[in-house]
Structure 1
Amino acid sequence: MMKRLIIVIALVAIALGFFPLATQLSEASTLTNTAEHYVGKGAEELGAANLVTSVVVSYRGLDTLGEILVLFTATTGVTTLLGSTHPTSQKRDDDLVEEGRRQGSELLATGAAFLFPLLILFGIYIFLNGHLTPGGGFQGGVVLASAFLLLLFSDCRIQLNHVLLKRAEAFSGAAYVAVGLLGLWLAAGFLDPRFLPAGEFGQLFSAGAIPLIYILVGIKVGSELTGIIDSMRRCQS
């Protein structure tokens, strides 16, 4: 009884805390000074046809770096808690492979074999064109991870190359920071893409270093999420 009472009191307190926010929430009719600068000068200053890209990877590049660090911390925590590299877990995994009890259905395996390369290409397309169309490194990385998720669903006996995943994650993260420092050194600030030629507006090779930044973000996000998926899969083995 006491436990239920505490839960009710907690829910009421949360509701009271959010009530003023819900009642005072209104749609903004004007842009702030910062937003006006982004909208008016973003395309001219950075050369990216996708204005959201200009904000995410350049104007607020430090915030994006923080998001990547959060994802890295989450990956490290999941891997540590699940103990995916524990010898006992690996032995159990190998035993199941030998017994052949982890193979998915033939229909799922055929569909995965057909969709896997398409999803990989689609993920690459998303982060390669993030400076031109909606999308970017985070979205493309998630698509890459979903391709590997489908592959593992189709046949859980598949073993991913963890060394390659870790190297891709480490390289992309280090290169991302290096690109940011090059912007600080050769341009006007951290992750300023203008240390590379702007190119022709609206073309694939444009917007300075923004496409390179999104490629690195896509690889890092994809490798980290794939690592999390594989750790969860091994934990359930």
Structure 2
Amino acid sequence: MSNLTGLLFAGGLGFMLLGIASGLDFGAPPMLVGSEIQAQAAQQTGAANIVTSVVLGYRAIDTLGELSILFAAAVSAGLVLGRRHTTAGTQTKGGFILATGGSLLFPLMMTIGFYIIFHGHLTPGGGFQGGVILAAAFFLPLLARPGARLHHKTLSLIEGFAGASFILIGLLAMLEGKAFLQPLLVQDTLGQLISAGTLPLLYLAVGLKVGAELASLLSRLIQTEAPQ
């Protein structure tokens, strides 16, 4: 029975791929969306980085869905790891060099993370990349000082505020008579920090949400006892 099911699945998949391949004109672009976005994205969104115009402009709802998936994954992992929480190894000292290095690198990594977030519409980067750096900035001192702990309630407040802010900015666009999450306050001065209107604010919300969730998850990982 299992062999028959696998055969039917493989046959259906092959038939679907054959139908898709037969409908494509190889050697010519099948869609013109990409070229239209490249031609009009900078003017419509004020973002010099075309990737940002797609992530936060043309498919911002998809980005909201990605944030929801990340939230669900972080919560699920936290629930699983919470059952295996342990205090083993919390008295281990990392040493003066590690502790000092972690303290010195923390503000540097925070600065780099926020820079990447706020300049995501101008240069490669954005909320997801900057958020990971923010999470690493909080996680590094935990490695240098094994007894240190993050305040999970504070991280939860930051994560909730960031998610609510993302949705609120989208609702403000609807109050202006535009589509949900459509960019607002777009300026004509391309290449400036404020040229993309609300896009940097959306990236800030993304960065804070990603950073808080990953930092909390990494903190729980370091507090979890490895399986025997």
Same fold (TM over 0.5): yes
- Alignment partner, residue 135 of structure 1: 125
CA positional deviation for 1:159: 1.4
Q: 1:147 aligns with which of 137, 140, 147?
A: 137
CA distance in 1 between counterparts of 2:208 and 2:27 reads 36
Q: Does the Cα contact within 8 Å between 2:43 and 2:188 map onto a contact in 1?
A: no
- Alignment partner, residue 6 of structure 1: none
- Alignment partner, residue 36 of structure 2: 37
CA, structure 1 residues 140+187, in 2 after alignment: closer, same or farther (shift >3 Å)? farther
CA distance in 2 between counterparts of 1:80 and 1:96 reads 21
Q: Does the Cα contact within 8 Å between 1:200 and 1:206 map onto a contact in 2?
A: yes
Q: Match for 1:138: what amino acid?
A: F
1:116 aligns with 2:106: yes
Which stretch shifts more, 153-162 or 179-188? 179-188
- Alignment partner, residue 216 of structure 2: 227
CA distance in 1 between counterparts of 2:225 and 2:179 reads 45
CA positional deviation for 1:189: 1.3
Q: 1:204 aligns with which of 182, 193, 199?
A: 193
CA distance in 1 between counterparts of 2:39 and 2:194 reads 22
Where structure 1 has 5 or more consecutive residues not aligned to the other structure, the ranges are 1-9
- Alignment partner, residue 78 of structure 1: 77
- Alignment partner, residue 49 of structure 1: 48
Which residues of 2 match residues 120-199 of structure 1 at below 5 A? 120-194=110-184, 196-198=185-187
CA, structure 1 residues 186+69, in 2 after alignment: closer, same or farther (shift >3 Å)? same
Q: Which string of whole-angstrom CA distances, capped at 9 and with x for unpartnered residues, describes residues 14-53 of structure 1? A: 9xx89xx8xx8xx976372211221111011111111110
Where structure 2 has 5 or more consecutive residues not aligned to the other structure, the ranges are 1-5
Please give the secondary structure, in 1, of the residue aligned with 2:130.
helix
Which stretch shifts more, 103-112 or 148-157? 103-112
CA distance in 2 between counterparts of 1:113 and 1:50 reads 33
The percentage of counterpart residues that share the same residue type is 40
1:216 aligns with 2:216: no
CA distance in 2 between counterparts of 1:222 and 1:176 reads 15
Q: Match for 2:153: what amino acid?
A: V
CA distance in 1 between counterparts of 2:32 and 2:183 reads 23
Q: Does the Cα contact within 8 Å between 1:199 and 1:205 map onto a contact in 2?
A: no
Which stretch shifts more, 50-59 or 197-206? 197-206
Q: What is the TM-score when the length of structure 2 is the normalising length? A: 0.83
Q: Does the Cα contact within 8 Å between 2:47 and 2:121 map onto a contact in 1?
A: yes
Q: Does the Cα contact within 8 Å between 1:199 and 1:208 map onto a contact in 2?
A: no
CA distance in 2 between counterparts of 1:75 and 1:43 reads 34
Please give the secondary structure, in 2, of the residue aligned with 1:32.
coil
Q: How many residues align?
A: 212
Q: Match for 1:133: what amino acid?
A: T
CA distance in 1 between counterparts of 2:167 and 2:42 reads 24
CA positional deviation for 1:122: 0.3
Higher helix share: 1
- Alignment partner, residue 60 of structure 1: 59
Which stretch shifts more, 180-189 or 125-134? 180-189
Q: Match for 1:143: what amino acid?
A: I
